[in-house]
Each structure stands twice: as C-alpha cells, then as structure tokens.
Chain A
C-alpha cells in the first residue's frame, strides 16, 4: 500500500476540504491530513484506529447509508467509489501509515533501474522509461525515421522545421532562445500593454529579450531565477539584472479613473505571489489568500508572510509615467528604470543642463515669490478683470489665501516673469530654465521606461487581510517568510526577496528543480511527468515516473542548472527518438501516452504554426530581439475592442509582417487574432491549451498570412522539376509518397484546368495570369494544412 500514490489523493480530494489543513473551516474539529488528527481519541471514538477499520469512525461514516451520517456528505456532490472505499479500508487495516507528500521531500539521485533490453538505452532517462514499460509488459516503439526525427528535433529546439538535425547546432542557434522563451512568456504573463481601461502600452520587450538572450547564452538557471526574482538586490546590479525583475511587474495595471491605489497595488502583489509560486514552486498559493489552504500546508498567515516579499516597494499603483509612442501612448508605473539606449546620453546631458539652470533660477526664487505676491496684492480689481479669465481666476484663488496647484502656479509665474516683472536677470534665468526643460522633455520621449522591482530600505512587512480583502487588515505586521512546512530559513529574521530567491534555488528546496524539469518535459512530450504543472500539492497529479523526475531534477542541479544540457539529454534519448506511430493496442492500453511506449505526437502551438509557414515559404525575416512587430490582422479589430480608440498600424514592411510570432505586439485586451489556444497573458499560465476546433481550421485556411505563405511557396516551387513533390518536401521535410503524389497530381491538373477557365480568379488569387501558379497555391494550402504539418510527430 502506497500512501502517497493510493491514499492521500483520495483523502485530499474527498475529505480535506472540511477535514484538512484549514483550521478555521474544519468541521467537527477533525483533521485527517495528519496522523495526530486522525488517531486522536475523541468522545465518540477514534476517527482512525490503525489496524481496525470497523472500529474507525471514518470507516463507519463512509459506509453509512444514513444521509445524515454518510461521508462525504450528499451536499458536497463528492462520493467514494467501491475501489476507493476498499483502498481506504485496506490502508487502515494495514496500520494507516501516513507519509510526507512526495514533492515536499528533497529529491535524491535514484539508482538506475535494471532493465532487460539494455541495448535500447542511450542515456539514463531511458532506464526509467524502459523499466516502467517492461513492468507493464510493453516494448518501446522503433526509432522514428531520420526525416521525422530531424523535423521533430528542429521544431523542439528552435520552433522552426528546417534548421538541420545536429543537436549541438540546433542548441547554438539563436532560434533556440526564441523557442524556449515561449513558455516563459506565458508564465511571465508577457504583454505589450497594461490591460484594463484604456489598455495603454508598456515597454515589455526588454524583459522578453532578456529571457531570449539568457536562454541562448545558457545562463545557469539558478542565476536566472535569482535575477528574475531579486536582480535588483544583487551587488551593483547591471541593467539586465534590473530588467529581469520585470517578471514581477508584468502584471495587469489598472488605469481606471476611480481605482483606489491601495486596492490596485494589493492586486498587483497578489499576482506576484501567484506568478512566483506557480512558476517556481508549483504551489497554489492563491488558495490561501482568503483563508488557510484547504489541502496544502499553507496557512492564511503564511500567505501574507509570502506576500510581504513582494509588497515592500514605494509603488505608484496607477501608471503615471508617460512616453509618446509611435502608434500609441505608453503609461507605466513606478518604480521604473530609464533604459540605456543611445538616446539616453543626450537626454542625461540635457537633464544636467536643466538641473543647473534650475539651480540658477531657484537662487532668486524667494525674491521672485515676494515680488509676485506683492504684484498680486497690489492689483486693482479693474486690472484683474482685464486679465485673461484663466489668470484672473488664479489670482482670485491666491487672494482668497488658497493654495494653487502646480499648473496654476506655473501659469501665473510665467505671466509674472514674462509680462509683469522687468528684472532682466530673472527673466533670463526663467527662460533659460524653461528652454532646457523643454529639451529634456523632448529627449526623454526616446528613452523607454521599464518597470522593475525596487525595495524600500526597511524590511518587508505585511498584515493578514480578513478574507483576503485588501482593506481588511487584521493582526500584527508580519515579517516575510516561507510557509512553515517548507521553511528552512529562520522565521524571526528580516528576510527579503533576495533571501527568497536564494532559498528557491537552494538544495533545501524540494520543488523548483522538479517543477522546471517537469515543464521542460511537458514542452517536449506534450504531457508533464506531473500532468498538473501548476500544482505539485496534495491535489496535484502524481508523477507517472517519480524517479525519473527526481533524476532529472538532481542532474539539473548537479550540472549547475544547465538547461541546454538537460534539453540535449532528453532530445537524444531513445525515449525521445521513438516513432510516434500508435496502434490499437497502445491506444487502448495508454491513450494519453503516459508510459511513453511511443514518441510524442501533438499539434504545434499556433505561434509556431505561423512561424513554420513563414519559414517553409521563405518569408521569415531574421529579426532577433527588439520592439514588437505589427503583422496584419483583419481590419478594425482593435477599433472594435477599444471603441475606436486604437487603430492597428498598417506596416507592410517584412520585419513587421514576417517576423516570428513571439515578436508580434500583444495587446492584453485582445491577443493577436490568429493565435488560437494562446495563454491569456492576464495571469501566470504554465499549461498550454490544445484544442481542435473548426475556428482553427478557418484560421489556417483563410488567414491572409497563410495564403501569402502558400502563394510564396507555390512561386518558389513552380519551376521545380516536380513542383508538387518539391512543395511537399518543403512543408514536411520528407519525400512525397506515391499515394500522396497520385492524389495531388490529380488535384494539380484539376485545379490548373479550373483556373485556366477563370482568369479573374487566377488574378485574384495570385495577382498573375498563371493558372498553374494558382493551382499550385491550392496545393500549398493543402500542404500547410496537412495534419502531419500541423503536428509535431
């Protein structure tokens, strides 16, 4: 009997909601998540009597047919089936042994399991997979053919189909970083705009570029994590290290007129907690915002102690820092850094000049104020009435002894100095200062602002919020710390984000390396070893290959958190190289391919589908890093969502039209319309969606970018000896088969004839009068929509 695998999942899912970790909502004061709770002697008896199910109260309640007594209660809509009941009974009878949750125990490098078919093994990964297959009486599938394998590797390592097949070459391609940035963009809820009302732009791409560059340079991922979480707290941080911390500033930002500052900042911090806990710990911290976690050992207090790590900033809340954009306006909120672009030097110089001029002006400021005051006091009402109404109003306010706001102050000061006072020195100092200020203002527009983390000098503190509501603080201010269940750090010390980051990558943390390796596995095989990458807690799925996951985690740590090393290991394993052809036996036995008796086969993400179409047609540009691009989308979509406020720029140049999808401008209120199944980029997301709908078919058939790719492909194959075969080869990276050729040659002939009779349609499709080109374009559309091309197989 295995508690972790067989019993806790049942207890957690059916019992812990009311009899678990949450102390405030524990029914009958009974907890079953600890042996102390379960074996406690109570008036009515003992909930669990180890070794004796009949005497155990919970067993009696489980089998009761009295609706008042039976557990789980009918109102819960939860039930136990017969197998589950008998498992619980056996477990109790065998002594009701509890074990620590698997993911909370530090991973140790496991022994490689013995296998029979030793000549299949290419690296240790295969030992674990094969041992399991042999246990289940299964055999691995044969190796996939070379062409299939080459395409599979190229897609996995670079997100492009035809980059060659040598693993080391692929790993050193700049496209590697672009491909592997994709899951980071989803987890980092990357967006080029703020979301909410107005949805103004932000400078998000420096963070995206930081991720791509870090992956390409194979930055050790423990360093990467430290920079993402606390780059600002490193000794003399570089600009890159500051940019890294935007991971925790990528959240939505609320610009709404009535938004309450404390509330919006609270929401930002909640998002940081969620993103950090999900991305690095695979824990569902969010569940403890309003009360103790129902399942996992994260108390309400633990939540707010964790919250404290991310709330120790002087934050602006609303985005008040502005920059004029080429197409839209930027609005970001402090803390920010001014990006070190070429325009920064002249800007800083101008600012220094301005500071000097301001100093000169301020030297006379007292005298000016006095003179201005006396002028205002001595003005007659008639003189006031003759002034512009705006000035008259300001003077009136001043005379009533009320304070002026900044712009009123500026207005009256300017008028006084330029129109009233005859002091030439003052005038010169004023106009000099204004001139220099203007220069600063115009130069600063070219210096992007990146939102970053920046802690106050004082140590982090936070108060618990009743029911998780921002304006209901209760109890004392708490210092920051890890949940008690994980803490190997002292609780009473003043910890900060850099301590948190150090713990996350430390050997004392059982989760992070496993969580990262699981996501790597998920990207390559379509399904994680733990199928709930967002939840490694009690309610999460159990690993299909727990020892393999531990081996990967330890290997990763001991390699120095070397990501490329791990990618290489996986993509050169015999497990990886298997053919993905299934048969009815395998489909029956293991429909989801959890055991890996065959290679992975699943539909490519929409962003890679677009990249692939651009690549095979030769349209793809060499753009690497930099500001977002604006590939064409159907007219009026932004207008519609924004009621006319945004118009999508029409920029026909290749960089904007034909660069990789990860560079496309991502508006938070409306993702690029052809990016189906994309993560919503509003909150952290670590599990890709993969659906199969008619709307996707319409996109792939009718979106102009796919048509353009088809036409370009057709043009490039038209002069080939066998245009159809040439085109199929470009799209599939293999030779056409005779059966395919038989079908497609007929199509080619038929559609050529079709267009020969319809010159207007030929023209409409190809802008030429060539019916063969039109027909071949149709063939290219077919090729780009082949299931094989839409899938990694």
Chain B
C-alpha cells in the first residue's frame, strides 16, 4: 500500500505533462513528497559525491598514525585490546597477532596540521578543507556485507541504496542526465577479489527509476545510448515524431495517461543521447584542469578519469555520484600494493576537491572518501616474508569528508594507541554501538544520517512503506554528527 508514492508518481506525471518544458525543477518534485520531506531551506548541499574505497583502506597506515606500533613491532596485540573481537576465518587460525607498524612515516599537513601518511601528499594538500573522522565503525568484517551496509543500510542485499534514497527524497535537478550515477574503477594490479555488485546502487523496493545508472568506461557511457549504425540523429528525430503521432492516435482511443508519459520519455531519451556524450567527452577540458587529476585521467576507466567525470556530473545536476574504486584489500601485499593504491587515488581525490572549490561548487557539494571498514593493526601472514598484509577491521576506521558546511581542517574522534578501539580524548574506550550512540564514535548509520541531513533530509522522516513497515536508510538508528558541522 505505497499510496503516498503511487499518488506522488501520478501527480509527478501529471505535473510533468502539464509543464510545457520537460525539464522539471527539483523544487516542484520535492514539494510533492509528503513522506520524503527534503527541505530546501535546511539543505546545505545540492549533491553528494561518495568516493567509496572498496576493500578496506588501512587506517593505521594512512590516516591514524600509531607510534606505539613502531615501538612494539612484532609483539602480540594485547588480549584486553582485542577484547573478544571476532576475527575473520583468515586470521582466526593464525597463532600470534603481531603488531605491524605503519608502512611509511606520517606528517602534519597544512595549517590545521592534520596528521596523515606521507603516501598521501595530495590529500595532505587539502588537509585544511576536510574533516577527518578517525572513529568510524561498522557491523560486519566481510566485504560484501560491510559494503552493502555502508551503501544500503543493511548487510543483506536488497534494500535501496543511499543514492536511491537521496534521489527519492530530492527529485531531479536536470532531467537530461541521470540523477544518480555510479562510476567504477579498480586497482592497477588487479589484485582485488571484490566485485562491485549492482545491488550497491540498486533501488530495492523504491521505484526502479531511483536506481543508480552505472556509467561504463567502455562503449556507450550509458547502455544502448548510441543509435545503431545506419541511423542518423536527424533521422531518429523525425522517426520519433512519427512514433509520437501514432502513439497519440492510441491515446485518443485509450486515454491512458501512461501513453503521454511514454511519448515524453522517448523525447527525453533522444535528448540524453546528446547530453550524456557531451558530458563524457573530456576534450573540452583544458589541459591544466586535466593535469590537476594526474596523468591517469587520460586512461578510460581510471579513478582519475572518474573523479573528473564526477565533477562534470556535479556541474550538470546529478544528485548522487558514487565513485567506487576497488583494490584496497591488502591481506598479503600491503608493502607493495598500498603505495600503488595511494598513487592512483590520492591526487585525483584531492584534485576533485580543489576543482570543485575553484568553480565555487564545493560549498554545495558533499564529498566523502572512505572504505567499508579498516584494517587490523596486526599483521596477517609472516612479517619477515615479502608477502604480508593486514586483515579486516570493523571496530574503527577513517573516513574524510569535505564540502558544504563541514568543518575544515578538523579531526573528529580518537582511537586507542593500537588503532584498534574507538576512545574518548583521554584514551578511554567508548564502547559505542548502534543502539547506544556515544559522542565521538561514528557508526555507519550516523554517517548516513549526516549525509542525508546535509541534503536537507531528516533521516528519521525519509521513509518508504514496504511490507507494512516504514523503512529507512538508517533503520531505527543513526544520529547526525553535529560536531563535524561548521
């Protein structure tokens, strides 16, 4: 009995058809949502860019320096720190959990002096733009459930993704390009075993128009975008006009409003055939802008290319841009692989922040950079061999966030001297969980609540009734992290 949505869809359609211009403003659409009150007055940003680092970037190597690991290198992680923590079956049979120091030195960056790895010089250069959250935590210690949880609020696939919720709540800014776009890339070495499943951008039980459109790096950026060979654009236009005339005859007889919608959707498809290739065509970008993103920008399907695409999408009105980069799962190759990953992602991610800023878009964009969990401060495998790494860790990890109304040059949250548990400023473990919010610890649901909040959406009010229940992205949990807001 999704009556609200059904009537919303109908009203939208009617409105849509009544409007002379087919590009319907977001305000009009948002105004019709009684169950999804995106409030434009409260909105701090118009769009979100989520740089989802798939596989679990190592927080102790990159964002959360722990000198004690250097001092106690090779010694066992004290039992009271692990405190009965579940391990994955990959290390649960390993005898000793030997502490592994950060791979490279860390340093203080910018005026704010945020401490991060020297492997991230470009991120260092935007230190004064970001809030670094060191106290993220999540539920699962395996990739697929943890990523599903981060992006859909549930560990089991099938719920709507965050981008679907956001576009459901916000409506569309520009009908000629998709509101919710997904861009994917992988590490250069192709080490990762993680697939990027389409349920990470699915609409779940929300109408399927809210599902993310995955832009492809090969062929048409959007599936079936190009006309078949032998059919030209002007020809397609006049043929669609003929189709519309024929469909109008059917409409005269049947009066079904869906027929009018279909005519409009075919027209919009025709317009997308221009707007999407224009969007994906980077020839118009000046060299100095491309240079900001680094040489990889020339490689189709690279993270750098996708970051630049994200900016172009942001400019043109996409609401939720999910840039996923796989390959952070360094169980046995951290000494070699982590540095390569940093090289591939550090410059483009920082460039995106700078580029948005120089265009005045940063203030109404929210950018998040982080994984589904972190990695253990102890070693997986043999520290003395060439191949070792770190296992998954869900009790704490780091994520940075920048853009509209987020504190600049700020660090939020603390972890203990091992980088294992979230603590308060004095080092006392917080022991927060999703049922018991504690200031300073940021559960994934808290991050989700904060993201929606910045879009002007109350996460407790953005609901959809399905199977008799009003579902939310944040289930019955989540609290907006006010202390990172400026």
CB proximity of B53 to chain A, nearest CB, Å: 15
* B460 nearest in chain A by CB position: A77
Q: Which residues of A contact B1 (CB under 8 A)?
A: 531-532, 539-541
Q: Is the CB of A535 within 8 A of B467?
A: yes
Tell me whether A587 is interfacial, beta carbon within 8 Å. yes
B283 within 8 A of partner (CB): no
Q: Which chain A residues border B265 with CB–CB below 8 Å?
A: 692-694, 696-697
Q: Which of B445-480 contact A (CB under 8 A)?
A: 458, 460-461, 463, 465-469
Contact of A643 among B186, B209, B219, B224 (CB under 8 A): B186
The B141-178 residues at the A interface (CB cut-off 8 A) are 141-144, 156-158
Question: Are A692 and B261 in contact (CB-based, < 8 A)?
Answer: yes
* B68 part of interface (Cβ distance < 8 Å): no
Q: How far is the CA of A8 from the CA of B197 in the complex (A)?
A: 41
Chain A positions within 8 Å of B85 at CB level: none
Decide: B255 and A197 in contact? CB cutoff 8 A: no
Query: Across the interface, do B193 and A197 meet the contact criterion of CB distance under 8 Å?
Result: yes
Chain B interfacial residues counted at CB < 8 A: 87
Does B483 belong to the interface (CB within 8 Å)?
A: no
Q: Beyond A640-B217, A673-B223, is A680–B141 a contact (Cβ under 8 Å)?
A: no
Which residues in chain B, 215-243, are within 8 Å of chain A measured between CB atoms?
A: 216-220, 222-232, 235-236, 238-239, 242-243
> Which A residues touch B86, using CB under 8 A?
260, 471
The 0/1 profile, CB within 8 Å of B marked 1, for residues 242-264 of chain A is 00000000001010111110000
Query: What's the Cα separation between A627 and B168 when bound, in Å?
Result: 39
Q: Decide if A682 is an interface residue (CB 8 Å cutoff).
A: yes
Interface check A580, CB cutoff 8 A: yes
Interface string of A722-764 (1 = CB under 8 A from B): 0000000000000001011001100100110010000001111
Question: In this complex, what residue of A is CB-closest to B176?
Answer: A694
B405 at the interface (CB under 8 A from A): no
A532 adjacent to B468 (CB under 8 Å) = yes
Inside 8 A of A788's CB, which chain B residues have their CB?
Answer: 250
Q: Is A206's beta carbon under 8 Å from chain B?
A: no
Query: Which residues of chain B come closer than 8 Å to A583, judged between CB atoms?
Result: 255
What is the CA–CA distance of A274 and B258 in the complex, to the nearest angstrom?
33
**Which of A591, A699, A778 is B231 in contact with, Cβ under 8 Å?**
A778
Q: Is A603 an interface residue (CB 8 A)?
A: yes
Q: Is the CB of B10 within 8 A of A591?
A: yes
Contact with B along A53-94 (1 / 0, CB 8 A): 000000000000000000000010100000000000000000
Taking a contact as CB atoms under 8 Å apart, the answer to whether B198 and A765 are in contact is no
Is B18 among interface residues, defined by CB-CB distance under 8 A? Answer: no
Kindly specify which of B59-67, B94-102, B266-274, B343-351 makes contact with the partner chain.
B266-274
CA distance in complex: A132, B478 (Å) = 47
Q: Which residue of A lies closest to B218 (CB)?
A: A636
- Chain A: which residue is nearest B266 at the CB level? A697
A287-B216 in contact (CB<8A): no
Interface flag for B207 (CB, 8 Å): yes
- Give complex CA distance A764, B6 in Å: 44
Interface-forming stretch among A350-358, A446-454, A700-708?
A700-708
Inter-chain CA distance A284–B251, complex, in Å, is 39
The answer to whether B235 and A601 have CB atoms under 8 Å apart is no
Q: Which one of B199, B220, B273 has the highest number of Cβ atoms from chain A below 10 Å of its Cβ?
A: B199
- The CA of A641 and the CA of B461, in the complex, are separated in Å by 34
Shortest Cβ distance from B391 into A: residue: A258
Contact A534 B198 (CB under 8 A): no
Interface with B: A370-378, A410-418, A515-523, A779-787, which one?
Answer: A779-787
Bound: A713/B208 CA distance, A: 31
A309 to chain B, nearest CB (A): 20
Query: B242, A782: Cβ atoms under 8 Å?
Result: yes
Interface residues of B in 93-124 (CB under 8 A from A): none
Q: Which A residues touch B213, using CB under 8 A?
A: 695
Indicate if B202 sits at the interface (CB-CB under 8 A): yes
Q: Is the CB of B469 within 8 A of A539?
A: yes
A584 at the interface (CB under 8 A from B): yes
B253: interface (CB < 8 Å): yes
A671 in contact (CB, < 8 A): yes
Report the separation of the CA atoms of residues A692 and B141 in the bound assembly, to the nearest whole angstrom.
39
Taking the nearest CB of chain B, how far is it from the CB of A650, in angstroms? 15
- A259 touching B209 in the complex, CB below 8 Å, given contacts A697-B269, A765-B230, A785-B243: no
Which of A581, A635, A644, A682 meets B254, CB within 8 Å?
A: A581
Given known A634-B219, A683-B157, contact A669–B242 (CB-CB < 8 A): no
Name A728's closest neighbour in chain B (CB-CB).
B246
A118 CB contacts on chain B under 8 angstroms: none
* B482 interfacial by beta-carbon distance below 8 Å: no
Could you tell me if B89 and A257 are in contact, using CB atoms closer than 8 angstroms?
yes
Docked CA distance A778–B240 (Å) = 10
Pairwise interchain contact A786-B89, C-beta atoms closer than 8 A: no
B252 vs chain A, min Cβ distance (A): 10
Partner of A641, one of B193, B198, B466: B198
B90 touches A258 (CB 8 A): yes
> Chain B 46-89, CB within 8 Å of chain A: the 1/0 string?
00000000000000000000000000000000000000001011
Q: Which residues of A contact B144 (CB under 8 A)?
A: 196-197, 254, 256
Binary contact readout A624-654 vs B (1 if CB under 8 angstroms, 0 otherwise): 0000000000111100111111000000000
Q: Does B245 lie at the interface of the complex (its beta carbon under 8 Å from any beta carbon of A)?
A: yes
Task: Check A699–B224 contact: CB distance below 8 A.
Answer: yes
Complex: A196 Cα to B145 Cα, angstroms: 9
Chain B residues within 8 Å of A778, by CB: 231, 235, 239
* In the complex, chain B residues whose CB is within 8 Å of the CB of A635: 218-219
B269 near A751 with CB under 8 A, answer no
In chain A, positions 26-49 with a C-beta closer than 8 Å to chain B are none
- Interface membership of A537, Cβ < 8 A: yes
Whether A786 pairs with B207 at a CB distance below 8 angstroms is no
B262 touching A540 by the CB < 8 A rule?
Answer: no
Give Cα A582 to B250, complex, Å: 11
Q: Which of B224, B467, B469 contacts A703 (CB 8 A)?
A: B224
| CA–CA, A286 and B142, complex, Å | 23
Which B residues lie within 8 Å of A296 (CB)? Answer: 468
Q: Which residues does chain A contribute within 8 Å of B268, judged by CB atoms?
A: 694, 697
Across the interface, do A195 and B230 meet the contact criterion of CB distance under 8 Å?
no
Residues of B within 8 Å of A537, CB to CB, are 468
Is the CB–CB distance between B253 and A692 below 8 Å? no
How far is B88's CA from A645's CA once the two chains are assembled, in angstroms? 24
Q: Which residues of B contact A677 (CB under 8 A)?
A: 208
B255 CB contacts on chain A under 8 angstroms:
581-584, 587
- Is B292's beta carbon under 8 Å from chain A? no
Chain B residues near A472 (CB-CB < 8 A): none
Q: Which residues of A contact B235 (CB under 8 A)?
A: 751, 754, 778
Q: Once the chains bind, are B467 and A691 in contact (CB under 8 Å)?
A: no
In the complex, whether B194 has a CB less than 8 A from a CB of chain A is yes
Taking a contact as CB atoms under 8 Å apart, the answer to whether B10 and A538 are in contact is no
Does B289 have its Cβ within 8 Å of any Cβ on chain A? no
- Residues facing B in A160-213 (CB within 8 A) are 195-199
**B219, chain A: closest CB distance, angstroms:** 6
**How far, in angstroms, from A296 to B469 measured CA to CA in the complex?**
11
Is B190 close to A, CB under 8 A?
Answer: yes
Q: Mark B254-292, 1 if CB is under 8 A from A, else 0.
A: 111111011101101100110000000000000000000
A591–B255 CA distance with the chains assembled, in angstroms:
11
Closest 10 CB pairs of A and B: A539-B468, A765-B230, A258-B88, A764-B230, A697-B269, A694-B269, A764-B229, A541-B1, A702-B224, A694-B268
Would you give 23 A-B contacts (Cβ < 8 Å), ordered by A? A198-B193, A199-B195, A287-B468, A539-B469, A581-B255, A584-B255, A591-B257, A634-B224, A640-B184, A642-B195, A645-B195, A671-B198, A680-B199, A692-B258, A695-B223, A697-B266, A702-B228, A739-B249, A747-B239, A747-B242, A778-B239, A787-B250, A787-B259
Q: A534-B466, A670-B197, A787-B263 are in contact. List 4 more A-B contacts (CB 8 A).
A: A258-B88, A260-B89, A695-B222, A698-B223
- Chain B interface residues toward A at CB < 8 A: 1, 6, 10, 86, 88-90, 141-144, 156-158, 184, 186, 190, 192-199, 202, 204, 207-209, 213, 216-220, 222-232, 235-236, 238-239, 242-243, 245-247, 249-251, 253-259, 261-263, 265-266, 268-269, 272-273, 326, 391-392, 458, 460-461, 463, 465-469
